[in-house]
Structure 1
Amino acid sequence: MFKLRYISLLLFFVFVSAFVSQPTSMFEEEISLGEVSDKTIFAPRSVTYVDKEATEQLKQEKLSSIKDIYSMDETVSETIIQDFDQFIKELILAKENLAKSNSEEEKKPSKNEIISNLHNPYNLSEEEVNKFLSLTIGELEKMNDIFQKELELIFESGITEGNVESVRKNFQELKNNTNFYLFFSKEIIETLSHHLSNQITPNFILDEEATNKKKLDELASVGDVVIEIKKREAIVNIGDRVNEIQIKKLEELGIINQSYNYEEAFMQLPLFILFFGLFYIYGFTFKKEAFSKMRTFLFIFSSMSVVIVLTNVIPESFLNFSLFLPLLTILMIFTVFWGRSFIIVASIVLGALVSPGDLDYLLVSVTSGFLLAVGFKPNSKRINILFSGVILGIVLGLSELGISYALSAAIHIDTSISLLACSFIAAVLTVGLIPLVENSLGLVTSVRLYELSDPNHKLLKNLMKHALGTYTHSIMVGNLAEMAAEEIGANGLLLKIGAYFHDVGKLKNPHYFIENTTPDNNPHDLLDPYESAQIIRRHPLDSIEMCRKYNLPEPIIRLIASHHGDSYLNHFYERAKESNPETNKEDFRYQTPTPSSKEEGILLLADSTEAYARFLSSSDIDRDDFARRIESNILEKVEEGILRNCSLSLHDLDKITKVFVNYLVNSNHERISYK
């Protein structure tokens, strides 16, 4: 989150936005002190005067809002993990020494001596040490790897004095994770989790120097704001003899004697830092996948800065298009790409920064955000975005009429018309910009995904027509993957569509894949195992080639590319070994990347599990045996290391396994013989 390049770019956008937020106009009113005005001049925007008398109060409020800063002490986690690593390694060494003492005649240290000299940071009893020594070296190494990762995860999240007890308690709950029982006994897990949890100490330390520095910086940036000029407030009425107060107000509004107000720009810097900073933290906390990609990060913040620039630089005289069109367009684009929660936060930030102090503009922005969040449907077609624009414009226009009449007993019909027109034009622009943004950022919207889910898509129709078994398999994989994704918070819709297309490459040789053949008509019986392997290994690459030909989005291409990882075709390898024991196993390995995201890992597991379940469904096995074999198949994939580069945790895998087993057992119950 706090990488220098991201912080530097954030500060750049903050300064650009803050300095262009000052009102500029190519058109000034010609009016001077003492002159009788021949028109009524309204405030085009809300501005504020500086009031030094409120300075101290504002500073105190700022101080009370500043939170303490904590810094991470990495030596805490390093010490605990190193102690554990040394403990396990000495256990392994002890086992090796005990083995030597049993096999060699010369006098070796006794078991009690070895145990007494063992590095024992947890003060384990001799009985407890003997339990660990009963494990194999392989089990000790696996224990070292698994528990080190668990320790790293909890320390990465940060532990303070306030939450250390809950962290310890949660760590002890590892004993309830059934995945561990695949490798170790319950007694071993309970002993280790208990002693390790007692070693956990806070690694987030209060940084008093940084906290005080932040307080000083915030205090130095506080400005004194006193008097507010409201938008549409009558500054000079027709027939008024213009006085000094009115001249000052007109100057503050940039209507006369306009010059760039550097002081005001610097005074607004804290506001921009605050809102951009909070939005930055929100993004890296709740939308990390989007914000951690530089292209997406740049697009989001540059778009917001462009809205601020256009709104403040272009004159407002043209139906107020410059006031609303940029805002509504970017809000609609944000909604389509990043969803409901994102658009609500973005609308608040833009409403506060585009026209600082303008409550009317903030209301329009926030209302638009909430309406788009409520009205947006992920399964919408592009035409529905246009309808949404019209509805948004009508609601905003009517709201503007009602609010303006309630506040000033006047109806501003021009603003309502502007809101309606801008909403529709923004919707048109959004529809046109979606493909450009998708291609530029390498993203895919839910709108595009739902279009691809149409069974009339040419690739899917060809799959149904020429490889019905593969088509059925793909639909089943899509259902499995979507349910598993929803269970762990991954992108279910993307996975579902990716699964539909993941095997389209089989169209080149459909009859060479088992789901499209029958046991008595298997073409591989007539082929050399090497030839069979080449055909099977080729289909992910063929799928990528065909999907690119039909302009499928890159996120789907990435899913397809890794759905077999670098696994082996063991069936053909074993056949080849029958005729040549020196067969190179690497000749039977997929030459595709391993999964690097949760979605890619889920698709790989769903694909292999569905195929294995189809094989089991023809066997005469009971329901419980079916479930056990499915679990065993998933565990084998994990142990093979195919998922080594993706971010699926043991907890995620446990949830995915339960979803798969439940779905497949129930969907195959008619074909399973109960005993």
Structure 2
Amino acid sequence: MMQKWNHFYGKYGQKFIIPAILVILMLASYILMIQMTKPESFNAKLFSVADRTIRSPQTVIDTKKTDEEKTAARESVEDVYTFNRETAQNRVSLINSFFAYVSEVQGEIKEKTDKKESVSNSDKLKMLKDKLSSNVSEKITSSISDEVLLRFLNANPKDLTTAKETLSTEIETVMGESIRESNLNTKKVQARDDIELSSIPAPLRSAAKTLVSYAIVPNETYNKKETNVRKREAAASVIPEKILQGQVIVQEGQIIDRETYRQLGLLNLLDQKMPVKQYAGYALLILVLASILYFFTTKTKMSRKKRQQTLLIFGVAFVLTLILLFVIRVLESANLSNISFLFPAAFLPVILKILLRERYAFLGLLFISVTSLFAFQSHETSVVSSLITPFILLSGFAAIISLRDYSRRIAIFRSGMIVGAFNILCVFFLLLINNSTIWSESTLESMFYAFAGGVGAFILALGLIPLFEFLFGVLTTSRLVELANPNHPLLKRILMRAPGTYHHSMMVANLAETCADKIGANGLLTRVGCFYHDIGKTLRPPYFVENQLQGINPHDRLTPKQSRDIILAHTVDGAEILRENHMPQPIIDIALEHHGTTLLKFFYLKEKEENPDTEEAEFRYSGPKPKTKEVAIINIADSVEAAVRAAVDPTKEKIKQIIDGIIRDRILDGQFSECDISLKEIEQIRETLNQTLNGIYHQRIQYPDDVKGEN
């Protein structure tokens, strides 16, 4: 079953399984965010008594009240009218024209009378109406009665002049003021009253009052466009009515009236429903965070497998942290005051710094700070809710900075104590900034929770790191230190079954670690990998030269191909032994790759003497070639150590020749074509090996026999 799974994972894992897991982690993060930010539902009914004080979980605009305020503002704007000064002049001109035509008709009547022609009242009216109709744009004849017209036609010229002057002055005076439809009648009455008291002869006063009443018209017109502009400006100036976050909607014991019930519905506190746009917003938030993580990871040079491993570790750790955040939110909802400070803010930064790198710890701290901001601000506000995000940021930074030595568990725990003490200080000055009561039971409770959360984060990380190591094959510094312990069962196995191999491995470890430190590779991983790289030799120790007794070589009784099979098998056998003992994958890779696909030259040449058609491929290690700098270093150091140890009287020049020859053969053979080691780094390795081996095999001064034991 395991073989089938391994085959399936090896074939489809990178294409489908890991991406599927990442999608699942994103969905899990989204669901947790929704659950933490979903509005709390209250069993509130209209006209019932509130069983608790309900506060607004967020700031929202009260659209109904805002619309009412805008409507009131629009209605409060008075209509805009435009005053037209030309109207008065036009009406005075109209009256002057009227009197001019009356005088003109009177002149024509006089001419006819002088000719002894009879002119009736109807003829007079016809003459005046014809002139007014053809020369005046207004239909004045239909608005003024025939009786009024006849009075003016029958008046003497002096009275007409008086009436004309009086009416012109009155019209100009009255229409110099604002006249609208609403006050038109008032102005007309005022003008008629003035005419009544004027010097116009009594027979003409009634007609004059009729004419002045006709002449006075509105001189202000309604400006619809400007009115609408002012109404819009008034509505726009209205400040939206808001229900503020933390605002009390209803106090415990109060009646839930219609307005309160409406506000609860507006805040989605009745049906526990979240607006669709908020669902979309949180989905985009998770997508943005995932995108940042992806591009952040792709900027680092690493293999596809390593990148996916990094994404998985980060994703799982982040989801675990969200679960912890969700638990804290549940406890907070159960009215456990100040419990938010118990949140292990340092957990995600700590576990990411140990398992990945410090840069991922800072990124994780940023992620959890952003999500905590939404989680704690989505419910009823309190002093703790407003302070928890800065608290998480400060606690996380303190954890990253204080965690320097994580090769020993006691050092990690010590960092936890430091962060716990720092958390107490954080709570203290955050409460000072918030102007909260300092020396109170609530403050002491907050400080206790903060300390417990700081220490608890490190304890939780210590407990989960082995699980991460097992699930993802991650090698932490503390795990490497454990594997380097000489009392490890596999190291004891090498020592007991193949002591020569054990000694050889220790020597290679010293050389390789020095080279790794020189070029900036993982020195501890290189050293520990060397300890186990030849464990496959424990199955047949005597067949390897370092374990052979003097003068006894089992290969003398075997054919070259039989010897080849035994020697080449030790890399595969070693990897299998390490897998069976659940060793980390990087250690297994070192055992499998440390010879790459190099040629077993001695037995190949021996076989070729007997069979000239022998192919090199038959005597090469199965590989694969080194994939990392650490394996490349071990590949060189392993061969160099064996060659120098086998050399007779290794001088400085001979050591240099051996090192140069081995490195040249590896490069020409293309053994480093699949790892990112550079020629400059290979040159540094060459120099380091020369210096180290010359220090080991330096020429000693020949002392007399009686003092030889002193050097």
- Please list every run of 5 or more consecutive structure 1 residues that lacks an aligned counterpart in the other structure: 53-224
Cα distance in 2, alignment partners of residues 394 and 14 from structure 1:
34
Post-superposition offset of 1:430: 3.2
Post-superposition offset of 1:627: 2.3
1:360 correspondence with 2:387: yes
When the two structures are superposed, what TM-score results if normalisation uses the length of structure 1?
A: 0.61
1:611 pairs with 613, 636, 642, which one? 642
User: Structure 2 vs 1, CA of residues 545 and 530 (structure 1 numbering), >3 Å: closer, same or farther?
Assistant: same
User: Structure 2 vs 1, CA of residues 4 and 535 (structure 1 numbering), >3 Å: closer, same or farther?
Assistant: closer
Could you tell me the percent identity over the aligned residues?
30
1:281 correspondence with 2:295: yes
Cα distance in 1, alignment partners of residues 701 and 304 from structure 2:
44
Q: Equivalent residues in 2 for 1:105-116 (5 A)?
A: none
The residue type equivalent to 2:398 in the other structure is L
Post-superposition offset of 1:665: 3.0
Cα distance in 1, alignment partners of residues 305 and 265 from structure 2:
40
Q: Is the 8 A contact 1:24 1:312 kept in 2?
A: no
Q: Residues 114-150 of structure 1, C-alpha deviation per residue, up to 9 Å, x if partnerless?
A: xxxxxxxxxxxxxxxxxxxxxxxxxxxxxxxxxxxxx
- Give aligned pairs, total: 494
1:661 correspondence with 2:690: yes
- Please list every run of 5 or more consecutive structure 2 residues that lacks an aligned counterpart in the other structure: 1-14, 64-239, 378-384, 703-711
Q: Residues 205-263 of structure 1, C-alpha deviation per residue, up to 9 Å, x if partnerless?
A: xxxxxxxxxxxxxxxxxxxx999978x89898899999999999988987666431333
Post-superposition offset of 1:351: 0.8
1:392 pairs with 401, 419, 427, which one? 419
Cα distance in 1, alignment partners of residues 692 and 241 from structure 2:
64
Which residue matches 1:343?
Answer: 361
Q: Decide which moves more: 238-247 or 643-652.
A: 238-247
Q: Equivalent residues in 2 for 1:289-304 (5 A)?
A: 289=303, 293-294=307-308, 296-304=310-318
The residue type equivalent to 1:279 in the other structure is L
Q: Is the 8 A contact 1:21 1:354 kept in 2?
A: no
When the two structures are superposed, what TM-score results if normalisation uses the length of structure 2?
A: 0.58
The residue type equivalent to 2:492 in the other structure is K
1:551 pairs with 577, 582, 592, which one? 582
Which residue matches 1:473?
Answer: 504
Q: Is the 8 A contact 2:22 2:312 kept in 1?
A: no
The residue type equivalent to 2:581 in the other structure is Y
Q: Is the 8 A contact 1:595 1:643 kept in 2?
A: yes
Q: Is the 8 A contact 1:393 1:420 kept in 2?
A: yes
The residue type equivalent to 1:317 in the other structure is S
User: Structure 2 vs 1, CA of residues 289 and 479 (structure 1 numbering), >3 Å: closer, same or farther?
Assistant: farther
1:370 pairs with 391, 394, 397, which one? 397
Which residue matches 1:638?
Answer: 667
Cα distance in 1, alignment partners of residues 23 and 686 from structure 2:
45
Which residue matches 1:21?
Answer: 33
Larger radius of gyration: 2
2:473 pairs with 436, 442, 448, which one? 442
Q: Is the 8 A contact 2:505 2:530 kept in 1?
A: yes
Post-superposition offset of 1:359: 6.5
Q: What secondary structure sits across from 1:353 in the alignment?
A: helix
Q: Is the 8 A contact 1:390 1:424 kept in 2?
A: yes
Q: Is the 8 A contact 1:296 1:441 kept in 2?
A: no
Q: Is the 8 A contact 1:513 1:536 kept in 2?
A: yes
1:317 correspondence with 2:317: no
Q: Decide which moves more: 263-272 or 318-327.
A: 318-327
Q: Residues 37-71 of structure 1, C-alpha deviation per residue, up to 9 Å, x if partnerless?
A: 9977778x8x555799xxxxxxxxxxxxxxxxxxx
Post-superposition offset of 1:348: 1.4
Q: What secondary structure sits across from 1:556 in the alignment?
A: helix
Cα distance in 2, alignment partners of residues 270 and 668 from structure 1:
64
Post-superposition offset of 1:570: 1.0
User: Structure 2 vs 1, CA of residues 514 and 15 (structure 1 numbering), >3 Å: closer, same or farther?
Assistant: closer
The residue type equivalent to 1:260 in the other structure is M
Cα distance in 2, alignment partners of residues 462 and 325 from structure 1:
45
Post-superposition offset of 1:500: 0.7
Which residue matches 1:529?
Answer: 560
Cα distance in 2, alignment partners of residues 50 and 374 from structure 1:
43
1:490 correspondence with 2:490: no
Cα distance in 1, alignment partners of residues 19 and 698 from structure 2:
55
Post-superposition offset of 1:452: 0.4
Q: Residues 516-539 of structure 1, C-alpha deviation per residue, up to 9 Å, x if partnerless?
A: 346644444454433333332222
Cα distance in 2, alignment partners of residues 362 and 519 from structure 1:
71
Post-superposition offset of 1:407: 1.7
Cα distance in 2, alignment partners of residues 369 and 551 from structure 1:
33
1:261 pairs with 268, 275, 281, which one? 275
User: Structure 2 vs 1, CA of residues 243 and 393 (structure 1 numbering), >3 Å: closer, same or farther?
Assistant: farther
User: Structure 2 vs 1, CA of residues 16 and 249 (structure 1 numbering), >3 Å: closer, same or farther?
Assistant: farther
Q: Decide which moves more: 27-36 or 581-590.
A: 27-36
CA RMSD of aligned residues (A): 4.5
Cα distance in 2, alignment partners of residues 307 and 536 from structure 1:
49
Cα distance in 2, alignment partners of residues 408 and 34 from structure 1:
38
The residue type equivalent to 2:674 in the other structure is N
The residue type equivalent to 1:355 in the other structure is L
1:499 correspondence with 2:499: no
Q: Is the 8 A contact 2:60 2:267 kept in 1?
A: no
User: Structure 2 vs 1, CA of residues 249 and 431 (structure 1 numbering), >3 Å: closer, same or farther?
Assistant: farther
Q: Is the 8 A contact 1:340 1:374 kept in 2?
A: no
Post-superposition offset of 1:593: 2.3
Which residue matches 1:380?
Answer: 407
Which residue matches 1:602?
Answer: 633
Post-superposition offset of 1:639: 0.7
User: Structure 2 vs 1, CA of residues 539 and 632 (structure 1 numbering), >3 Å: closer, same or farther?
Assistant: same
Which residue matches 2:485?
Answer: 454
The residue type equivalent to 1:259 in the other structure is K
User: Structure 2 vs 1, CA of residues 10 and 359 (structure 1 numbering), >3 Å: closer, same or farther?
Assistant: farther
Q: What secondary structure sits across from 1:568 in the alignment?
A: coil
Cα distance in 1, alignment partners of residues 569 and 390 from structure 2:
56
Which residue matches 2:678?
Answer: 649
Q: Is the 8 A contact 2:339 2:446 kept in 1?
A: no
Cα distance in 1, alignment partners of residues 253 and 398 from structure 2:
43
Q: Residues 166-217 of structure 1, C-alpha deviation per residue, up to 9 Å, x if partnerless?
A: xxxxxxxxxxxxxxxxxxxxxxxxxxxxxxxxxxxxxxxxxxxxxxxxxxxx
